[in-house]
Amino acid sequence: MNTTMFVNRHISMNEADKKAMLEKVGVSGVDELISQTIPDSIRLEKELNISRALSEYEMLRHSKALASKNADFANYIGFGYNNTILPSAIKRNIFENPSWYTAYTPYQAEIAQGRLEALLNYQTVIANLTGFPLANASLLDESTAAAEAMSMFFGSRTREQKKNANKFFVSDLVLPQTVAVLKTKAEGLGIEVIVGNHKTHQFNENYFGVLLQYPGKNGIVLDYSEDIQSYKEHHLQVAVACDILALVKLKSPAEMGADCAVGTSQRFGIPMGYGGPHAAFFACKDDYKRDIPGRIIGVSQDAYGRRALRMALQTREQHIKRERATSNICTAQVLLAVMAGMYAVYHGPKGLQYIADQIHFKTNALAGALKALGYDVVEEPVFDTVKIRLHEDEKAKLTRMMRDRRINLNYFTEGVVSIAINESTTVNKLNYLVEGFANFKEKQAFKLELKEEYTIPSELLRKDEILTEEVFNKYHTETELMRYSKRLERKDLSLTHSMISLGSCTMKLNAATQMLPLSWGEWGNIHPFVPTEQAGGYQEMIRELEKDLSEITGFAGTSLQPNSGAQGEYAGLMVIRAYHAANGQGHRNIVLIPQSAHGTNPASAVLAGMKVVVCKNLENGEIDPADWQAKAEEHRDNLAAAMITYPSTYGFFDANIKEIIKVIHDNGGQVYMDGANMNAQVGYTSPGNIGADVCHLNLHKTFAIPHGGGGPGVGPICVAAHLVPFLPSNPNIKTGGKQALEGISAAPYGSALVLNISYAYIKMLGTEGLKKSTEHAILNANYLKEVLAEHYPILYQNENGRVAHECIVDFRQFKSLGIEVADVAKRLMDYGFHAPTVSFPVAGTLMIEPTESESKEEIDRFAEALISIKKEIDEIANGDMPADNNVLKNAPHTEQVVISDSWDKPYSREKAAYPLDWVRDHKFFASVSRVDEAYGDRNLVCTCEPIEAYM
């Protein structure tokens, strides 16, 4: 075996294991299995055209060569992105730590208490700085968070307003990328966005909300209190997009009377990364707790009354609400929120104030120097930005001179140049900057002296204390922070412990070689709005990744801008909408969606302004062709699209997919393919080959970007040639087609930093490796299905008895014994495993996906755990164990419970903790017993306790 080839590190499969698995499945080889799984009618006729597979060593050298093409300029652009300093203790112990980046979304709270605590810290920071009682666990970026606020306000209009109020006012001080994203979102929802002067605009009964920027896009700090009071007289809901670091010193949006605050936490130590990923924040009044988008971490208790955390109000999860959803957000930027929260923990209130003070003092010094040099400095209150007036011809000259000095300023606003100071701006850098401005005026430069005084009016400064909770006042040495983060880490189960076999979520290996470049400054320090020639490495990587993804999907073009799977769904539908409108068919607004679809599909459709028509699935799991045909023909005059997951969410390839797609095309619609299950297609078939028009890809699934405990993700869209002109753009850096959507995300290429991972994944696997990954995903799933089928019913398979990359195991027959599928999920924790996907797409089932990067040994161990649980269920069925007091109902068993003096269970401690011999060597104890979900929802607490609670 050539161990330098990445494919042999990615796929854990020796020939003996492979042979044994093929025998169990009942086929002579992989080719026979594939032919029985993927219909011949949709197979590719030629191999993918992907470049030669690189070894890991070659890939790292290639990444270094690309990185060297990104220019290391001093960036003072601002506009929502700033250079930061990521503390080494956070970089080493969290960002580069697979225990943090390979964990799954904390749906199973008992084995996610560490991440949940870190996210509770984050929520506490946001609630504290914004002044609102309620904050979520992060959103995708500032611009999409602002769009979520607009959408939330729209859904929260009074009964009277719902008759005619469809206008949303946006201050002209709001960042241009946010205005673009708002306009795209507004189009789908039927909202009219009006941009203007927040002081002079005249409001009437047609308005329902307002968005303000604090500080404004070029740095001005305004007290909006009186403005907001006047808006309230018109019954308007008010959101403020704000700078998290400025809020350390400035009066909070809540104190000014706003209803909601949004922004990005990027300034809390997160690299710019050419646009992301960064955790956006969203905080609001308690009135919106049933409407707030995304996830909230709440405090509850476990079965023994001990404090326990979990995701609160989970019925707001959009896959449950489906077409009644008010948001399609079903994810967060967890890893980045954890890092930003830890930044606040590490620095504490005094450290954050020092950082904010230094930025402000340097800003004042720069303003004073520019005045002394004769520049027309705009006199207005600022936190971190100096603004000078310059004619456009002077701006052009200054731009050239500063770029010769490897300095980027903000030239985006007509007649103005602005300079945003950041945490990494040293006095030496500032002196070099002033020297450049002096040279431009042909004057003598001078050294700056910082004065420690605030120039912001006192009424704009905070009067309250911030971050008084114990966690922000305790861990300020590296030793303390290291131990704290390690304590949290030990409470979480991740891929470092065992396989996480979540169907539809593809928890595969996130290889170290793919991850390493993310820590390099050459990738992290690039501002998303630098001229493209300064981002040569990014541009080359992005173009090549777009080309490879287009090749893999069989399409003509790709946009990497959508920064989550749900955003990809939404982007794909908005592109279809724009295509119909361009063809004079803008009335088309009906989307057909099968019952089996991902829940975000109908949510995304509603947000794109579509009406959802649900189509039936047959008992065998296939789309019902008669119902499909009938509904397509019934709505043919208004049919916009169909959304199809393929292979289906039921876990197999529908053999009649081409006919299903033809029905939509024959009736004037476009076909959107949900790429969640693309890892069963790569190299063997493709959405383009099947006949679809657009698909989104979950790069955090098929293409190996880590889940990071629930994010980051990337959800690019790939489209057929006729849809390429409509791919999304950005107001600051042009992307997309000639008839582009205004914007889907804040940054032109979305979460560009983590694109390195998928790029390396494809480049190291090459054509053959990508095909092998698909083969082994299918082999592992079918092997596990055959093993489990001897003990449990398997719900769906094709006519050959095959599943694709996942299988659905049915536990509903045990309800008569009082055993629910949730009991099985909790008992799996005692065996050291994270539960597969629970009760989706069918209630009472587990959807299991082993992925290609798991070994036969690990799959066997997982199967043995489920087989052992079946025996434990049989003990209840036989009357050997009481129905209400057994190992399943009491699971998971914590170490404290097992060693307790008051053990009173009708089974042994050993059975509880070590149900199989090998569990001893792999033991992972849940840190809390089963969490009481209802208690937490009745007593909603989503921030850390004040310090008094610890006294």
CA atoms of 703 and 691, how far apart (whole Å): 22
Question: How far lies 743's CA from each of 410, 545, 673, 747, 932, in Å?
Answer: 20, 20, 21, 9, 41
Separation of CA 150 from chain center: 20
What pLDDT, on the 0 to 100 scale, is given for residue 323? Answer: 64
Q: One-letter amino acid identity for 936?
A: G
Check pLDDT > 70 for residue 947: no
Would you tell me how many other CB atoms lie within 10 Å of the CB of residue 415? 11
> Residue 591 — φ and ψ, nearest 5°?
-120, 125
User: DSSP for 105-154?
Assistant: PTTSGGGBHHHHHHHHHHHHHHHHHH--SEE-S-BS-HHHHHHHHHHHHH
Report yes or no: 282 and 264 within 8 Å, Cβ to Cβ.
Answer: no
Report yes or no: 248 and 129 within 8 Å, Cβ to Cβ.
Answer: yes
User: Model confidence over 446-489: pLDDT tens digits?
Assistant: 999 889 989 999 999 999 999 999 999 999 999 999 999 999 99
Check pLDDT > 90 for residue 586: yes
Report yes or no: 679 and 506 within 8 Å, Cβ to Cβ.
Answer: yes
- For the chain, give the number of residues: 951
CA atoms of 157 and 295, how far apart (whole Å): 22
Q: What is the dihedral of CA 176, 179, 181, 187, to 10 degrees?
A: -150
Q: Over the chain, what is the mean pLDDT?
A: 94
Percent of the chain with pLDDT over 90: 89
- Strands 260-264 vs 280-284: parallel, antiparallel or unpaired: antiparallel
Residue 597 — very low, low, confident or very high, per pLDDT cuts 50/70/90? confident
Which residues contact residue 316 at a Cβ distance below 8 angstroms, ignoring those fewer than 6 apart?
290, 291, 292
User: Could you report how far apart the first and last alpha carbons of the chain are, in Å?
Assistant: 61
CA atoms of 313 and 319, how far apart (whole Å): 13
Q: Which carries the bigger pLDDT value, residue 565 or residue 68?
A: 68
CA atoms of 303 and 311, how far apart (whole Å): 17
DSSP, collapsed to helix, strand or coil, labels residue 837 as: strand
In DSSP terms, which residues pair with 211 in a beta bridge?
Answer: 170, 239
Task: Write down the residue that tokens 């002096």 correspond to.
Answer: 438
Residue 330 — very low, low, confident or very high, per pLDDT cuts 50/70/90? confident
Q: For the sheet containing 307-312, what is the strand order?
A: 307-312, 296-302, 931-932
Would you tell me how many other CB atoms lie within 10 Å of the CB of residue 934? 8
Q: Is 129 left (phi over 0), alpha (psi -120 to 50) or beta?
A: alpha
Residue 785 — very low, low, confident or very high, per pLDDT cuts 50/70/90? very high
Check pLDDT > 80 for residue 318: no
Residue 1 — very low, low, confident or very high, per pLDDT cuts 50/70/90? low
DSSP, collapsed to helix, strand or coil, labels residue 421 as: coil
Separation of CA 628 from chain center: 33
Please, is 60 exposed, middle or buried when counting C-beta atoms within 10 Å of its C-beta (0-12, 13-18, 19+)?
middle
CA atoms of 202 and 196, how far apart (whole Å): 10
CA atoms of 837 and 828, how far apart (whole Å): 12
Rg of the chain on CA atoms, in Å: 28
Report yes or no: 797 and 785 within 8 Å, Cβ to Cβ.
Answer: yes
Q: 931: which DSSP letter? A: E
Residue 385 — very low, low, confident or very high, per pLDDT cuts 50/70/90? very high
CA atoms of 430 and 419, how far apart (whole Å): 11
Separation of CA 87 from chain center: 23
Separation of CA 131 from chain center: 25
79-93, 115-129, 305-319, 851-865, range with the lowest pLDDT: 305-319
CA atoms of 951 and 946, how far apart (whole Å): 10
Question: How far lies 506's CA from each of 649, 700, 926, in Å?
Answer: 13, 8, 23
> Residue 779 — φ and ψ, nearest 5°?
-65, -50
Check pLDDT > 90 for residue 599: no
User: Model confidence over 171-183: pLDDT tens digits?
Assistant: 999 999 999 999 9
What pLDDT, on the 0 to 100 scale, is given for residue 340? Answer: 98
Residue 12 — very low, low, confident or very high, per pLDDT cuts 50/70/90? confident
Average the pLDDT over 354-365 and give the result. 98
Q: One-letter amino acid identity for 501?
A: S
> Residue 398 — φ and ψ, nearest 5°?
-60, -40
> Residue 169 — φ and ψ, nearest 5°?
-90, 135
Q: What is the dihedral of CA 497, 498, 501, 504, to 10 degrees?
A: 40
Report yes or no: 872 and 887 within 8 Å, Cβ to Cβ.
Answer: yes
Residue 950 — very low, low, confident or very high, per pLDDT cuts 50/70/90? very low
Say what the pTM is. 0.97
What pLDDT, on the 0 to 100 scale, is given for residue 321? Answer: 62
Q: Where are the alpha helices (DSSP H) in 161-238?
A: 161-164, 176-189, 225-233
Tokens standing for residue 81 = 């992105």
Residue (of 710, 740, 715, 712) closest to 725 by Cα position: 740
Would you tell me how many other CB atoms lie within 10 Å of the CB of residue 669? 25
CA atoms of 189 and 194, how far apart (whole Å): 15
Check pLDDT > 90 for residue 266: yes
Residue 315 — very low, low, confident or very high, per pLDDT cuts 50/70/90? very low
CB burial of 361-396 (b: ≥16 within 10 Å; e: otherwise) equals bbbbbbbbbbeebebebbeebbbbbbbbebeeeebe
Tokens standing for residue 700 = 């955090």
CA atoms of 882 and 876, how far apart (whole Å): 6
What pLDDT, on the 0 to 100 scale, is given for residue 707? Answer: 87
Average the pLDDT over 702-713 and give the result. 90
What pLDDT, on the 0 to 100 scale, is given for residue 948? Answer: 45
- Strands 694-697 vs 670-675: parallel, antiparallel or unpaired: parallel
CA atoms of 564 and 571, how far apart (whole Å): 10
Question: How far lies 618's CA from each of 624, 626, 900, in Å?
Answer: 5, 10, 51
What pLDDT, on the 0 to 100 scale, is given for residue 934? Answer: 78
User: Model confidence over 726-767: pLDDT tens digits?
Assistant: 999 999 999 998 999 999 999 999 999 999 999 999 999 999
What pLDDT, on the 0 to 100 scale, is given for residue 314? Answer: 55
CA atoms of 734 and 750, how far apart (whole Å): 13
Residue (of 68, 79, 55) closest to 216 by Cα position: 79
Residue 552 — very low, low, confident or very high, per pLDDT cuts 50/70/90? very high
Neighbouring C-alpha atoms within 13 Å toward the C-beta of 509: 19
User: Model confidence over 804-855: pLDDT tens digits?
Assistant: 999 999 999 999 999 999 999 999 999 999 999 999 889 999 999 999 999 9
